[in-house]
Amino acid sequence: MARQKPNGPTYYTTYQVSKILGVSLPTVVNWVNSNKMRAHRTPGGHRRIARNDLIGFAREFNYPLSDEFLAESTGRRRVLIVDDERDFSDMVREYLTIKGQFDVEVADSGFAAGYTVARFKPDIILMDIMMPDMDGFEVIRMLRAGRDTRHIPIVACTAYRDVEVERRVQEESFNGFIQKPLKLDELLVLVHETVNNLQARSA
């Protein structure tokens, strides 16, 4: 049976993950050891895989999940981080998952954001503005043009804050702006407020 961490997400043992995905236990251990699958260690040294990391892994590598497993409600909203700085996005992902109790996924480029949004269906997107392939301004225009994505709140994140950037953020209809380096507690408040405002409008 999966364990619920106090004030945090659901965690599974490597054995439970092997049964959920229909693979051998050594296979799961190898995925964890090779950093292919994200896992946390308990004080006793045991590996634990968070539910959202398990779902993200299964979706990325096309492992089917049972309807029963997917039907288990976590009561959490979904956050997508679009950023090419992996260390930054991993830090924010872990904080929002554990502290904010959100389901979080990461897209490491503007191009990846499009199909990740279609698959993950986030409730809010944290968008880096300066990316090498498609910048955040191009991505938000693409999403605002889509019937199924135009309603998603998008918060701009960048270290390059000046008058011109702020003007463009307003013109491109971002729902908020936060500057790097982020204060994680302020980010958490912003995400909660944005999601709660969305719930109030749709109620």
CB 41 within 8 A of CB 51: no
The answer, yes or no, to whether residue 5 has pLDDT greater than 60, is no
Q: How confident is the model at residue 123 (pLDDT cuts 50, 70, 90)?
A: very high
Mean pLDDT of 78-89: 91
Mean pLDDT score of the chain: 84
Question: DSSP 3-state assignment of 83?
Answer: coil
pLDDT, residue 127, reads 94
Higher-confidence position of 191 and 8: 191
**The pLDDT of residue 8 is above 50:** no
- On the question of pLDDT at 24 being above 60, the answer is yes
Query: Which has more confidence, 140 or 159?
Result: 140
> Token pair of 109, please?
């480029």
Domains of the chain, CATH where assigned: 3-69 (1.10.1660.10), 78-202 (3.40.50.2300)
The SS3 call for residue 103 is strand
Between 5-14, 64-73, 89-98, 115-124, the lowest mean confidence (pLDDT) is in 5-14
Q: Which residues contact 29 (CB under 8 A, 6 or more apart)?
A: 14, 47
pTM score over 0.85? no
Q: How far is CA 195 from CA 14, 95, 124, 126, 179, in A?
A: 33, 17, 7, 12, 19
Is 164 a residue whose pLDDT tops 90?
Answer: no
Instruction: Give tens-digit pLDDT for 34-82.
Output: 999 988 887 777 888 988 789 889 888 989 887 677 766 455 789 999 9
Closest C-alpha among 65, 55, 82 to residue 152: 82
Residue (of 40, 43, 33) closest to 12 by Cα position: 40
| Mean pLDDT of the region 16-34 | 93
Any idea of the CA torsion for 41, 104, 76, 13, to the nearest 10 degrees? -30
The tokens for 156 are 């701009």
Q: Which pLDDT belongs to residue 201?
A: 56
DSSP 78: E
Tokens of 140: 């938000």
pLDDT (mean) for 91-95: 90
